[in-house]
Structure formats: structure tokens, C-alpha cells
Structure 1
Amino acid sequence: MKNVENGIDTRRFGELLMSSGIVLNDNVCWVTFHSGYDFGYLIKLLSCQDLPEGQAEFFDLINVYFPVVYDIKHLMKFCNSLHGGLNKLAELLEVERVGVCHQAGSDSLLTCCTFMKLKGSFFSGSLEKYAGVLYGLGNESG
């Protein structure tokens, strides 16, 4: 009810997102933490269609709408000493949260800063081979 009264219409949000230039753009890097369901919602919103039944078709759409995606939870699989959720990972990497937990801005900033610290501390060189994988979905072998 609160969203109906104070939120933005989902179709309008999809239109604004599509026209923003941040989707369908391989110059934009999407950084997430265990966000398969979030991308499912965004794909449905952007395509104005039901999600495909198969994972292969789902990932085809991910690659179209979000060409460069890094899921930190997936990256953690290649770092032996790292475990836990985003807050635990940030703590292990000594990344400080700004703001309140589970507020979009604070969580987004923590995700970005944690990704940058993870990249600099554990991955020398390119991360490209880890792109396009969402933790818990599809082929996670890296």
C-alpha cells in the first residue's frame, strides 16, 4: 500500500531505466551481491514480459540488458579466506559502511567499495572471466 501511494509506477520506472542509458550498455559495470532475483525483477520490468522458463534464456537476457555484471558472492568462491554475507565480507576486508544497513544508498556504496577492495586485494589483472555469473544460478565455475 505504501508503494502504491508514495512509489513510482513500475511501468514508468522501467521506461525511465530503459531511457537512462545504463542498461543495454557495455560501458556500464553492474556490481551486485547475490542478486539473481533482483535481476529477474529488472528483466521482467524492462522487457514487459514474463521471465523465460530456462536459465539459458534468462542469462541471454541478462547479457543483453546488463552486459557487464560482477556478483561479489560469486567472486568470493575464488578467495579461500572469505565467507559470509556482504556485511561480514566488508568487515573482513576492512571496508567501512556509511549510513544505515539495508538502506539502498548505503548498501550500494558498501557493495561498490567492497568490490573495489576485493578486486585490488585478491584479483590481479582482469576480472572479465568472472563477469556474467550470478551466484546460485547457471554455471558458476568461473
Structure 2
Amino acid sequence: MDFVKNNEKGVDAGKFTELLMTSGVVLSDNVVWVTFHSGYDFGYLLKLLTGQSLPNTQAGFFKMIKMYFPTVYDIKHLMRFCNSLHGGLNKLAELLDVERIGISHQAGSDSLLTCSTFMKLKETYFDGSPDKYAGVLYGLGVENGPNSP
């Protein structure tokens, strides 16, 4: 990453946070977040949104995730419940016959592929309802999912 260029031409973190908070996409039960192995991304977003260090415990982290991002599906976690599915996002999309539009590792193309892959996964393996798997970020512990005590 070119930190000098980012400092000169990048988006100011404070302005980004302000826009994110006022956009209606956080703190909303009406928004569904779909991701692929993005625990670090959510950690960064939580740090920006709260202006504080991340919680010291996994339970505290997931409590904040649930508050700011009430409905999150992590495709990498969902794959654990689907026989024969493996690999990264591109491989999964290929296995599900989901076509990428655009160039890999470009935000728009990756976002569209993530959403399209989730929709196909949901239809094919979860009868359209993967609700019980929401709230878990791959690699950060299933014990903090929505069905935990």
C-alpha cells in the first residue's frame, strides 16, 4: 500500500465513518451483510465506527458485530455445511457455475460475485433459508453464533 498516496488522495477515515453511519447500512435490521472470510474487515469497520479499540474478548467482539451488523452471512462458514464445496471465492463460484462479471480483486466485481455466489449457495444447499448460520464469521468461533447459549 502506498501510504503517502493514500494520505494525499485516499478517503479520510473520519469522513468515511460519518458517511457509513448516516448511510443506513449499519445498525439496521433491514440490511443483510454477505461476506467471504472477512473477520478482519469487520474488525476494522468496528474500530472506525466506535472510535475505540476492539473488545478484548471474542464474545464482546460478536456483541458489537450483532449491534452494528445485525445480519451477517459468511460464505466461508456456510461452505462447512455443504458437501464437496471447498476453496476460495473464485473456486466456489466456479463450482456453483456463478459467472464473474468484471476483473478479480476489483471491489464492484468481487462484491457482485460474493452476492451472486451467496444467492446460488442459499438456493442450492439451504432451501433458501440459511438463517441459523447467520452471525458467525469464519475462523472466529462458532460458539458465538446466534444459537449459542
Question: Pairwise mapping of residues 55-66 of structure 1 onto structure 2 (< 5 A)?
Answer: 55-66=58-69
1:54 equivalenced with 2:86 (yes/no): no
Shift of 1:15: 0.8
For residues 43-72 of structure 1, what are the alpha-carbon distances to aligned partners after superposition, in whole Å with 9 as ceiling and x for unaligned? 000001010111000000000000000000
CA RMSD, aligned part only?
Answer: 1.2
How many residues align? The count is 142
Q: Which runs of 5+ in 1 are unaligned?
A: none
What SS does the aligned partner of 1:13 have?
A: helix
What SS does the aligned partner of 1:77 have?
A: helix
Residue in 2 that maps onto 1:13: 16
Counterpart of 1:97 (choices 90, 96, 100) is: 100
Question: Pairwise mapping of residues 25-104 of structure 1 onto structure 2 (< 5 A)?
Answer: 25-104=28-107
Letter in 2 for 1:116: M
Residue in 1 that maps onto 2:140: 137
| Distance in 2 between residues matched to 1:51 and 1:138, nearest whole Å | 16
Residue in 2 that maps onto 1:4: 7
Taking every aligned residue pair, what percent have the same amino acid on both sides? 73
What SS does the aligned partner of 1:2 have?
A: helix
TM-score by length of 1: 0.96
Residue in 2 that maps onto 1:107: 110
TM-score by length of 2: 0.92
Runs of 4+ in 1 over 2 A off after TM superposition: none
| Distance in 2 between residues matched to 1:98 and 1:8, nearest whole Å | 26
What SS does the aligned partner of 1:82 have?
A: coil
Letter in 2 for 1:59: F
Contact 1:35 1:71 in 2 (8 A): yes
Closer, same or farther: CA 88–125 of 1 in aligned 2, 3 Å: closer
Q: Which runs of 5+ in 2 are unaligned?
A: none
Contact 1:74 1:134 in 2 (8 A): yes
Contact 1:56 1:138 in 2 (8 A): no
